[in-house]
Structure formats: C-alpha cells, structure tokens
Amino acid sequence: MKKRLETDQVIESLIAAMLGEEATLRQQYVFRENLRSLVRLAKAEQVMDIKANVKRLTGAMEAHHARRRAKAVLLAQRLPGILTSAQQQFEFN
C-alpha cells in the first residue's frame, strides 16, 4: 500500500477549502494538478537555490586556493634571490 504524502494531504484540504463539496470531479482534478505543478516548481527552485549556494561557497574556496598558489609561485620566483643575498651575508659576516 502506498503511503500518502503530506503534500497530498495538504492539497486535498486546499481543494476542499477552496472548491467545497459542490465542485465537479473535473474542477477538483484541474485544481489538484495545478497545485501539484506548483509543488514541483517550488522543489525545482529550491534545488536551484541550493546548487547556486554550493557553487558560490566552493567558488570562494577555489579563489582562496588560487590566491595561495599565486603567492607560492611568486615566492618561488623570488626565492633564488633571497637565498643568494642570505648566502652573501653569511659569507661576509
């Protein structure tokens, strides 16, 4: 037996509240399917928001790592000059 979802229960109560008992089966069906479409749309928007937030957070991490790599490359380029001057100070002092 299929478990009835909370969303389905809410949809049925909305149908009863909005259309009442005098609504035809077709009116109930159309209203029910429109509400289900809204639920699907809301879920899709929520997933898109989550993905955008994750991308923004991981993008910030990638930018941080890129800065660290750039600093490491700059240090590696300057390192021979630093070592040479340190060696000269050691030799002459």
Q: Is residue 1 part of a domain?
A: no
pLDDT band at 1 (very low <50, low <70, confident <90, very high): very low
Q: Is residue 86 part of a domain?
A: yes
Question: What is the C-alpha to C-alpha distance for residues 32 and 37, in angstroms, rounded to an integer?
Answer: 9
pLDDT tens, residue by residue, 43-73 = 999 999 999 888 888 776 677 778 888 888 8
Q: Is residue 40 part of a domain?
A: yes
pLDDT of 61 reads 66
Q: Is residue 50 part of a domain?
A: yes
Q: Give, in order, the Cα–Cα distances in Å from 59 to each of 3, 16, 62, 89.
A: 40, 47, 5, 44
Range of the domain at 64: 6-92
In terms of DSSP H, where are the helices of the chain?
6-19, 25-92
What is the tally of structural domains in the chain? 1
How many C-beta atoms lie closer than 10 Å to residue 91's C-beta?
Answer: 7
The mean per-residue pLDDT over the stretch 69-85 comes to 79
Q: Is residue 28 part of a domain?
A: yes
pLDDT at 25 over 60: yes
